[in-house]
Amino acid sequence: MPRNKSPVEVAAGKLILAIQKEWGEVTGTDEANDAYEVMDRAHDLQMAAHRGSLDTLLSGKSVVCYLGVSWLANHPSVRPSLEAFLQAVREHKHV
């Protein structure tokens, strides 16, 4: 039986998909490696959300700093998914 994912895990999955779309658009260019690294860090966020260890993973950093301020600034289409993830994290902390 499949496990129900938390809202934070679901939001992380959507963030991964948004980053993956950007990565797909730059595959074969110099930017592809950076996008792949950001996507990998987003996967780490999802796994940490699953384990309940986001604070440990972030070690005091913001999610934006963890993913990469410059990369996110250069890929505004990821912003809605990022905001949804941040909102899910905030709501989870208040539960």
Domain layout of the chain by residue ranges: 7-93
95 has a pLDDT exceeding 70 = no
**Taking a C-beta distance cutoff of 8 angstroms, is the pair 15, 81 a contact?**
yes
Give residue-wise pLDDT tens across range 5-32: 899 999 999 999 999 999 999 899 988 9
Indicate the SS3 state at residue 7.
Answer: helix
Which own/partner contact pairs does 45-51 have at CB distance under 8 Å and 24+ positions apart?
A: 45/12, 45/15, 45/85, 46/9, 46/12, 46/13, 46/16, 49/6, 49/8, 49/9, 49/12, 49/89, 50/5, 50/6, 50/9
The token duo for 61 is: 């950093």
Instruction: Provide the mean pLDDT of the chain.
Output: 93
